[in-house]
Amino acid sequence: VENTRKILHAVDYIYAELMETKHLRVLVKPDATVISFTSDDFDIYILSQLMAKKGWNLNILQFPPSLHICVTLVHTPDVSRSFITDMRICISQIMEDSTIKAEGVYGIYGSSQGIPDRSLIKEIGYEYLVAYYS
């Protein structure tokens, strides 16, 4: 019960901080421990890419392009503050440098959303994996 309380406190903290973070939009108030967010100002996959370089693992979503974090006991409490600090640093970097582009898997997610024939995605993914591992 104590661990659950700590996790939910971390969720509340991260949610509140993301709501106050300029250039981010939280998609829905979390009912449990998953917080999803996007940006109307920049490519959200670039944020995931920069956060990954700092050691954070955010889950990539499509339709709309977005990310989510699954808050666990690991995120309580100092880690939550570090997460928000790193997030804001990365957002500032994105807003200051328009030359940063999504690369690798982040670029693939972004570009695959623009393909109108969704049946092609499986074939493209297969060819990517063959080329990558060849």
Predicted local distance difference test score (pLDDT) of residue 62: 83
Q: What is the DSSP string of the chain?
A: -HHHHHHHHHHHHHHHHHHHSTT-EESS--SSSEEEEE-SSS-HHHHHHHHHHTT--PEEETTTTEEEEE--GGGTTHHHHHHHHHHHHHHHHHHH-TT----HHHHHHHHHTT-S-TTHHHHHHHHHHHHHH-
pTM for the model stands at 0.79
Encode pLDDT of 17-35 as tens digits. Answer: 999 999 999 999 999 999 9
Predicted local distance difference test score (pLDDT) of residue 125: 73
Residues in the chain with pLDDT values less than 70: 105-121
